[in-house]
Amino acid sequence: MRNSQTRRTLLAAAAALLAAGSGARAQPRKLRLLCLGDSLTAGYLLPAGEGFAPQLEKALRARGLDVEAIDAGVSGDTAQAGLERLDWALGEGADAAIVELGANDMFRGAPPSRVLAALDAILIRLKEKGVRPILAGMKASRGMGADYVAAFDAVYPELARKHGVALYPFFLEGVAGDPALNLPDGIHPTREGVARIVAGILPLVEAELREIGG
């Protein structure tokens, strides 16, 4: 009788431990989101915590996602420079990566084909490492001439189609050209401008992260 009771007690304890372990495994894991970009990502001239990555992380957490947004924005970076530091920027790895590059290439008049080649290599490398890319598009200044504008603007949709990755068509949507949302240079967003960018891209990023398992 005593042996039978002891056996039932042990079985109950084992079942409780298994249930607890199963519950722990079911908890969503923390996701790492790399924000690879230039000064637009880096929060140029903004106080700490007001740039793109911190504001996006806060918005994602408010939507119930346990996310660490890694600020890998470097002012002045071209698409090629982003490619060259990609492995270092990934560090311990990431689940997804927002790629926001190309504006500096455009302002320097770099051939769109060069931008495409560098971004193409970034997307290939991210996918090889098991990181889901989210491509943030850029548009050429209309002063660059019609042919250049057409070629540059086509880079991002072409790459998104080729690699089957999510595309946010224009990173500065709703912000570009609005003096109230940009610093005096007319190029870099204010804190409020960054908030507008985050609000625009948030649904896409959230959907991608939830597919990963957030």
- Report the distance separating Cα 56 and Cα 36, nearest Å: 13
H-only helix segments in 68-190: 79-84, 86-90, 103-107, 112-128, 146-153, 155-163
- Residue carrying the six token digits 């311990």: 92
Which of these, 151, 140, 48, 55, lies nearest to 98 by C-alpha position?
Answer: 55
185 has catalytic annotation: yes
Element (H, E) at 208: helix 191-212
Could you count the other beta carbons within 10 Å of the beta carbon of residue 122?
23
- Report the distance separating Cα 93 and Cα 160, nearest Å: 22
Q: Which of 4, 22, 39, 141 is catalytic?
A: 39
Q: What is the DSSP string of 118-148?
A: HHHHHHHHHHHTTPEEEEE-----GGG-HHH
Q: Which of 38, 77, 105, 188 is catalytic?
A: 188
39 has catalytic annotation: yes
Residues marked as catalytic: 39, 185, 188
